[in-house]
Amino acid sequence: MKQHRLFITLLVALTVQAAQADDIKVVGQNLQNFFYSLDRGRTQGNGSITLSNYNTETGRTAKLNAIVGTLSQYEADIYAFNEVECCEEVLQLLAQSMSEKTGKNYMPVTDGLSYDLTSEPDGVIKSGFIYNAATIEPVGENLSTAVGYNHFYPATMRMQGFKSKSDDEVFYISMNHFKASTSSDITDDINQRESNSISLLKGLDQAVLDPDILIMGDLNSEMGEQCLNNLMDAGFTEQILKHEGSSAASHWYYATGSLIDHVFANSTMSAQITDAHMLYVANPHSTGNYNTAYSDHDPYMVTLNLQAQPVVKFGYRKVEAVSAGKSYLMVFNNEKISNPVSTSKTYEYLSVTNVSPIDNVITLTSDKNGFKFEDDGNGYYYIKDAYGRYIYLYNNGSSYNYTTNVGNKANAQSHSVVKQSNGTFHVHNNVANYNILYTTNYNNCSWRNWTSLNNGQYWPTLWEYDPSITVTGITEIPAYTQPSTTRKVMEQGHLIIITPSGSRYNLQGIQIR
């Protein structure tokens, strides 16, 4: 019996060791304008913060030593930074210094970003990564997720795939810096951050096909602001609040702390996160020692167990009425659901996917088919897709138009939602006097001004997302209709160009077979 107990004890110990060995640690922080260049005349704040006066080699070294001396103790597999200079040298310097401090081999992720000192005398900041080359391998290119921006944000909104060398598991980190509250009109900043979040979601959708995604960074907003609501509506969950609780804070204005740096994860990634919390003792700023703080933001750490097997599910139940702020499937003839429109398009008929409800529940492996019904303030609803785009009808057409900037509701149109005697709904566009319906003849959803239907034509029933649903089986895996245009997709970490005929090319134009 003792031998058996000893064997079991050893087995448990080995199992725990193996699980710990597979853990991946990710540390993130805003470094408050850490520059490699010395000729920019840059001094943070009022110049009284010692480690911010780094327009000399002595000052830069002091701040570098403070950063590395603090963060090296965690020996993270990946460090993700905001507010570092937009040049290759700054990440090389951080990686080299971290390697010297820890004895490990840290490498910078190459992003190809640079600055022009003559045209940008005050410098440009970016977000970037360094990683432990013994445990982590970058996957694919370092890409911007700032869809729709021509300057600044493409450098501060960066996405990189990483692979754990111990088990070949791949995941993606999106490191972001949203608009700070610096404008004279705070509403402008809020709207800009909302645009940042929608741009990010579009960028992730275009760059990553089957990901485990972490969205991290200085998002300059507390929970409840619309930019963060957009991330939650898209299926991302805030992890620091989940694991640490509501007392978490990342930025301190003297004695008052607020959580404006965040870690969001989609459902598959969330299931693989074992911990996420702030590192308060790491940076003196949170303890009030402002004169020795190297940043006005505290760092945070996320621990991943990539061996966890997540259960991905989104369950929906049929409803008799709608509620503002909820997400709904539009289901036709109890067998077809409308699909989202590609983020590369601004209008299209809605294609459909077959479903088979089980016990009056529809369960999907994606939430991208849902439409959020948003109160327009007059007793009606704006309708927003999973990417945050409002649908509207243009010039009494029959296809669906989408706003390109969620912060601007100028094109958004109100809808009444009226239940019919047979359980279907008239989802009625109040501007054009058209309803949403599905026709088997065209096998898609469109706008029509019909008041009655013939065979093969259906009004939708509405099924509301219910996070409490316990799923025993998957109803259907959505198979979206691919757009009939040339598109870019991520395959095994590489960006691939696919033509409408199905031919595949790499970014150098060489055909892949």
CA angle 180, 181, 185 (to 5 degrees): 135
**DSSP character at residue 476:** B
DSSP-assigned states of every residue in 308-345? ------EEEEE-SS--TT-EEEEEETTTEEEPPPPTT-
**3-class SS of residue 280:** helix
pLDDT at 350 over 60: yes
Residue-level pLDDT at 217: 97
Q: Check if the beta carbon of residue 348 is closer than 8 Å to that of residue 301.
A: no
pLDDT band at 52 (very low <50, low <70, confident <90, very high): very low
Sheet holding 511-512, edge to edge: 487-491, 494-498, 504-505, 511-512
The C-alpha torsion from 87 through 91 and 92 to 93, rounded to 10°, is 100
The pLDDT tens digits for 77-126 are: 999 999 999 999 999 999 999 999 999 999 999 998 887 555 544 458 99
Residue-level pLDDT at 50: 43
Residue-level pLDDT at 411: 78
pLDDT band at 45 (very low <50, low <70, confident <90, very high): very low
Task: Tell me the one-letter amino acid at 282.
Answer: A
The pLDDT tens digits for 417-448 are: 999 999 999 999 998 889 999 999 888 888 88
Calculate mean pLDDT across residues 168-185. Answer: 89
Residue-level pLDDT at 18: 38
Task: Tell me the one-letter amino acid at 162.
Answer: F
Sheet holding 391-392, edge to edge: 347-348, 400-402, 391-392
- The residue written with tokens 């949170």 in the block is 286
Give the DSSP H/E element, type plus range, for residue 212.
none
pLDDT at 316 over 90: yes
pLDDT at 68 over 60: yes
pLDDT winner (highest mean) among 59-63, 235-239, 449-453, 505-509: 235-239
pTM, two decimal places: 0.65
* Average pLDDT over the chain, rounded to an integer: 80
pLDDT at 127 over 70: yes
pLDDT at 487 over 80: no
Sheet holding 300-305, edge to edge: 106-108, 125-132, 78-85, 23-34, 300-305, 273-278
